[in-house]
Structure 1
């Protein structure tokens, strides 16, 4: 049975959202309430989960697309095809649950911290409900790693350009998120 996955209803102050990340690709098996896609608005990142056991059929709106409230974003195939594909993998999945793979149950802030610091969720013990990994758990793990890392005796020196007296710095342009863009617009309007 084919199910249309639509963008959630946005609050009245939010006109649209942007598809931030697809966590599943077409043909991949999903279980009920498993995270499929993140939709970023001016104020919040909303998570859209699988409505039933099955597989993702088609992605209608790719990453970076702007979507409106209740707009079709994907098609989902519920039923035997998805459950048959996930049934053989059930035993290894239970073994992984004891290792505490928190990728499906952790919030966006936790996933972002793990990604930015190149950490594996299975290395950190979650203290939240049902062993859920919290942001504080990741921060405590990072603090413990900093304390355990010895500080070098001499700090590396930065090269200074003799003619201008400035430090050589590299810069990198990163696209702003919708939330940062909204903050920037409001700061500029407040200055005027």
Structure 2
């Protein structure tokens, strides 16, 4: 297994640690930011989430630079992104920090695109992530990070950057999902029944 795929797997392995940090109240104390208090375990989860998200850029850059792009990587990389982002959004709903309908919309798109990828894989085709899909992923990562950080540093200005980014990510989720299906509809049309 090459280094980019190992980096991708490390991202997947960080997800349970991220979940534990958010799912349990460790009562490590809080930081006062603006008019809010940021629980330190949320800060730790945000840092871990940002580190795990950064590996997405690192593995892709390394794979392209050294010509190490593989079908396994094309499959694992978007899967790792979906697992990490879905865990983040679901936990934000549990913590009452994101509306469930937005998260359902986002995760439904992820399931639909994964289903399309599975159909394509059954036909011997690997569908790589599109540019819109990458923008969607990064807007989701920024939204989750901002929400986990309780809108820091924007909490000092009163600008609801975290909420704004949540809706921007939902918009890119819809647009990229539609784009993905339009560009790859032939996979569904031509699939053997």
Shorter-chain TM range is under 0.3
* Structure number with higher strand proportion: 1
* Structure number with higher helix proportion: 2
Select the structure of larger CA radius of gyration. Answer: 1
Larger RCO, structure (CA 8 Å, separation 6 or more)? 2
